[in-house]
Structure 1
């Protein structure tokens, strides 16, 4: 028996600062319609899929920063996306900057949501592994101020039972950390949907630049294989406000194999029919956690070694 979820990974080309939410939503709807025409049950959009990647700028006016955030989802400018999804009968996932009030204070998160075929939000995740820096570093060609503009996500890595399977969400830098996949893997995740905005140039370590796309795929393929799950990684790509973002949008099987990959760095849709049952062979043999995983030994190792600081941080 097979459980097929046909997924469209909708890579976006650059979103410039001058582009309005309305402009971007039109692009998203066009990709969504193309995905539905190709038989997709679900279409995945990137991290911060409604605006340019604003953490590249140092801003001191909080109102200027907050203009990039969504106060409700859906809101007036994003509601057409939800309505079109419900009309077409297709689900989607998208990342955005979330402004919310919790515990009597205003909070800012880098967030992703999962929406079902009726246009209802059925899953939500807030980014945990925030990269970059919080202080002003004007020596950089562009800054990466996620630690300044966002709080660390406070929802953990929940999974959702939707589209006939167990679905999980993560965002960009999360993909580099094994804990991301493992926490969802321990909950039986069968498909991880993640969006990213990743610069080709890494100012603190430019010697790594030529490996940006390799490391992108390496981390997602390892996460897929080691946790017996499909991974759908979706980029915002191309030259955005003078910053080159990598592409490499890919749909990856539980075997770790890439089954579909974007060719360019513009708006592009790739599609794959993903059999969720393809994970069963791995979940019941090599990566049968109950049979082979040994968490009781991990504590002993970390107790003896502790956390080793990087050079110069002792």
Structure 2
């Protein structure tokens, strides 16, 4: 890995969760999150990334129509009585964190993450933009993935927060597969992107080899970190949850594109790494000096089209 003569260090941790079953209460899950937070703090970490939808099982695997049943998976306030201990612990330990959860905002439902500072206060919120899956049950599918039924497209963009430690951005699960996610944050000089995910190993509606799930997960993180000169801390929900296996593979990836540390279990597990943020600056001043090398006047098609279409006419 590239090293810098003027290192600027930040100790990051990723807290992977093993499966959360439908019968598990929020109180039980928060106790697990607290243990992971304390573990990370004992290693010297300043920030921790938790997974997407960390407080509940991944409920979009079921087609539900009863509004009370659905809304039981959503948070109406953050922190609430059951999640408050996590915020109190963050303040006591001086450890910030990213937390993913299902958010109910009036009648709107979002797949959301928050950035909580080392003083236990909420610094920012992100709502998932690239919603995968389907809006209705797919006949004959071995596994349903109904995020489009339960979540609206996020409306907050891809902001970056300038904390005392680093410029930090957030994204959620499928967002990591889309280069626009990271380029928007890269154009804001992001140092660290935190990403939580719940990726099933069996959700493939075509004949794709299962091993490619982990390959594409890591490929997305590595290319995004390199092309945007940032660190990425990515946290999985892993293991067999309600009969559905998930890939795990939580990782911390450097601006070089190298995976510096990753999990290999499918259980609750903390990984950590002391990141040199000056490596971000090195790449931003050289190969990915956006101001010197980007040519946005030639990128118009990215905004003009959503789907692929015919080649543009040549002059």
Sort the TM-score into its range (normalised by shorter chain).
Answer: over 0.9
Q: Does 2:111 correspond to 1:110?
A: yes
Which of 79, 86, 90 does residue 91 from structure 2 map onto? Answer: 86
Separation of aligned partners in 2, 1:206 and 1:62: 35
Q: Does 2:313 correspond to 1:308?
A: no
Separation of aligned partners in 2, 1:100 and 1:88: 30
Partner of 2:198: 197
Partner of 1:121: 122
Separation of aligned partners in 2, 1:208 and 1:286: 34
Which of 29, 36, 39 does residue 31 from structure 1 map onto? Answer: 36
Separation of aligned partners in 2, 1:51 and 1:306: 32
Superposed, 1:136-155 pairs within 5 Å as 136-155=137-156
Partner of 1:71: 76
Partner of 2:133: 132
Separation of aligned partners in 2, 1:149 and 1:308: 27
Partner of 2:265: 264
Partner of 2:231: 230
Separation of aligned partners in 2, 1:270 and 1:308: 39
Distance 1:87 1:301, change over 3 A: closer
Q: Does 2:59 correspond to 1:54?
A: yes
Distance 1:121 1:301, change over 3 A: closer
Query: SS state of the match for residue 124, structure 2?
Result: strand
Structure 2: gaps (5+ residues): 1-5, 311-315
Distance 1:154 1:306, change over 3 A: closer
Distance 1:300 1:53, change over 3 A: closer
RMSD: 1.6
Superposed, 1:277-292 pairs within 5 Å as 277-292=278-293
Separation of aligned partners in 2, 1:36 and 1:308: 46
Cα shift readout 1:93-136 (whole Å, capped 9, x = no counterpart): 110000012xxxx1100000110111000021000000000012
Cα shift readout 1:163-193 (whole Å, capped 9, x = no counterpart): 4211000000000000000000011111000
- How many residue pairs get aligned? The number is 305
Q: Does 2:187 correspond to 1:186?
A: yes
Q: TM-score, normalised by structure 1?
A: 0.94
Separation of aligned partners in 1, 2:55 and 2:306: 41
Cα shift readout 1:42-76 (whole Å, capped 9, x = no counterpart): 11100000000000000010110000000000001
Query: SS state of the match for residue 207, structure 1?
Result: coil
Consecutive aligned runs of 4 or more in structure 1 exceeding 6 Å deviation: 300-303
* Higher mean C-alpha displacement, 154-163 vs 167-176: 154-163
Q: TM-score, normalised by structure 2?
A: 0.94
Separation of aligned partners in 2, 1:41 and 1:298: 38
Contact 1:5-1:163 at 8 Å conserved across structures: no
Distance 1:238 1:71, change over 3 A: same
Distance 1:256 1:301, change over 3 A: closer
Separation of aligned partners in 1, 2:140 and 2:73: 24
Contact 1:57-1:142 at 8 Å conserved across structures: no
Structure 1: gaps (5+ residues): none
Superposed, 1:161-172 pairs within 5 Å as 161-172=162-173
Query: SS state of the match for residue 157, structure 1?
Result: coil
